[in-house]
Amino acid sequence: MTAQLIDGKAVAARVRAEIKEEVVRLKAERGITPGLAVVRVGEDPASKIYVTGKKKAAEEVGFNSWEHHPDETITQEELLALVHRLNEDPAVHGILVQLPLPKHIDADTIIAAVKPEKDADGFHPMNAGNLLLGRPATRACTPYGVMRLLEEVGCNPAGKRAVVVGRSNIVGKPQALMLLQKDATVTVCHRKSDLPSEVAQADILVVAVGVPELVKGAWIKPGAVVIDVGMNRKADGKLVGDVEFAAAAERASFITPVPGGVGPMTIAMLMKNTLEAAQRAGK
């Protein structure tokens, strides 16, 4: 068996096209242009790349977008004041505070200060809690994107065994909850888990740990759908995921490449979250 590649770039382009169409309609029918404000503190190189990509996507779909770029010496109180101003600005429908923040700032405090209805990342405790309870909520972008990728390849989680490797608040935990909502039987693995035996049972495997090629291809259940969220740079400069790609592709039915799999979906779903916030704000 040779797995079919799940083209995240192509799916993300479809999502952005759908959003752009809806922005035109929203503007024409209700006079609303979705607005996304991004806050990037300091000069973290990776953050700069991510924020540039987000701004480009926002412009492509027809959003208003703003980048606030305070120096890394900003105090927590000053950053909270900036978040408060964005909370009160009716032109801003989505707020994204790019992580990581400088060490003297408590990220949890800043995230909790964003109004839940403007939380474009889906990280606010209220949104996380509503997801847990099965209520409508802004969803964390990366797992939300994974759900769209599964949908695109016709993979219905209902009745399937799903294994999520990694239990972060950003990917692993919300991913498990989204799969559970779709009636999968879900196992969450971590450093104490027996990974080979757990992975071998997965009809749907989502790996998000940030360890190069941690999951070996030989562990993959034949016919499984494999979603690799990891992106790691090896000593030779090559980008690899958390799954041993070539060997896994010989056993899986579908697999995401790295790069070009999950990554583009994260930004696309950030745009979708912002659009949905604008739709709610206008009601």
Give the residue numbers of the binding site for NADP(+): 166-168
Q: What is residue 138's DSSP assignment?
A: P
Binding residue positions: 166-168
Residue 98: active-site member: yes
| ∠ CA 21-25-29, rounded to 5° | 175
Backbone dihedral angles phi then psi of residue 258, each to the nearest 5 degrees: -130, 120
Query: Which candidate in 55, 98, 160, 221 is catalytic?
Result: 98
- Residue 175 gets the label, from left (phi > 0), alpha (psi -120 to 50) or beta, of alpha
Torsion of CA 180, 181, 184, 187, to 10 degrees: -10
Token pair for residue 103?
């060490």
Give the residue from 143, 155, 142, 168 showing the smallest Cα distance to 202: 155
Kind of pairing, strands 239-240 and 64-68? Answer: unpaired
**173 part of the active site:** no
Catalytic residue among 119, 121, 203, 242: 121
Supply the residues annotated as catalytic.
Answer: 54, 98, 121
